[in-house]
Amino acid sequence: MTAAATFSVRPATSAGAEPRGPKPRRLSIGRFGVYAFLVVSALFFLVPLYIMVVTSLKGMPEIRLGHLFNLPAEVTFQPWVDAWLHACTGRDCNGLSPGFLNSVKITVPSVVISIVCASINGYALSFWPYKGANLLFGLLVFGAFVPYQVVIYPLIIGLSSVGLFATLPGIIIVHTIFGMPILTLLFRNFYAALPVELFKAARVDGAGFWRVFFHIMLPMSVPVTIVAVILQVTGIWNDFLFGVVFAGRSNWPMTVQLNNIVNTTTGVREYNVNMAATILTAAVPLAIYFISGRWFVRGITAGSVKG
């Protein structure tokens, strides 16, 4: 949040204001060096995206010539159609579309449930701390650092004992569990920063736990909820490990199907279809990233700041 605050106090024009780094002299060698470094770095970040896009628009004969960086001589959208509808994983040749649907079915409930849980947690921790609440919170934050491999097997055993292993509800529970530490931290920090008078006034008026939450806290939680949604949608959409272990074959998310399509050992490798499939899988989080802009950055930095 500090980033956003300092941006607004910085003057919009740089010409006459106090310079932060070395004085910006137009066209000096130093200035040129700054931009050269940034542009070369930007190229490093952009080239993979570029080759993804151009490869997905080429035909296989053209790809076999090995001109990775050339623009397509003849643009074809067939790879995109194939990636969406016909690409094969083993014997199934339905493309990525079932995976897309699965990812939606996993992501939407997981995001809603995990945010509802975390907002109540954060609210209770900030305003209704009961004995041991902070110890629980400490354990939860510890959970944010635990390698997934340490808890995966107990979770498999636990979920199969109640018949939820390899089911849609099972993977939703798993995402809720692993989203909880960082989201609870996020909401707790947000509520803890609110003026406590607000809470006291509502209490004097006789409002209880849920009334204060629904009538006072929730309407004020829009910004933190946006950050949480961005964090969770991108995180869950991009997940691979939980999907492959907990979702079950019929619910495999898009990332798992993408990996199966590309890294399949049978048949000829169709690089153009693979790259189209890769872009399709990245499309949802990328769209969120470009639409949300600064909010995304805020999510990363807010989630990582210790409370």
Near other proteins by CB under 8 A, which window of 79-87, 162-170, 192-200, 283-291?
283-291
Percent composition of the chain: helix, strand, coil (DSSP 3-state, to 5): 70, 0, 30
Distance set, CA 238 to CA 133, 191, 203, 213, 286 (Å): 32, 28, 42, 31, 11
Of 136, 193, 196, 201, the residue at the interface with other proteins (CB under 8 A) is: 136
Structure token digits, residue 57: 């628009």
Question: Counting contacts by CB under 8 A, is residue 40 touching other proteins?
Answer: no
Of 25, 42, 101, 108, the residue at the interface with other proteins (CB under 8 A) is: 42
CB atoms under 10 Å from CB of 82, counted, come to 19
Residue ranges in 106-125 that form contacts with other proteins under rule CB under 8 A: 117, 120-121, 123-125
Of 16, 61, 267, 293, the residue at the interface with other proteins (CB under 8 A) is: 293
- Nearest-5° angle of CA 245, CA 272, CA 92? 45
Number of shown-chain residues binding other proteins (CB under 8 A): 103
In the complex, what is the shortest distance from the CB of residue 73 to other proteins, in angstroms, rounded to a whole number? 14
Give CA–CA dist 177/170, Å, rounded. Answer: 11
Which residue matches tokens 């079915």?
A: 105
In the complex, what is the shortest distance from the CB of residue 157 to other proteins, in angstroms, rounded to a whole number? 6
Near other proteins by CB under 8 A, which window of 73-81, 90-98, 189-197, 269-277?
269-277
Question: Counting contacts by CB under 8 A, is residue 209 touching other proteins?
Answer: yes
Question: Counting contacts by CB under 8 A, is residue 228 touching other proteins?
Answer: no
Choose among 234, 240, 227: nearest CA to 305: 227
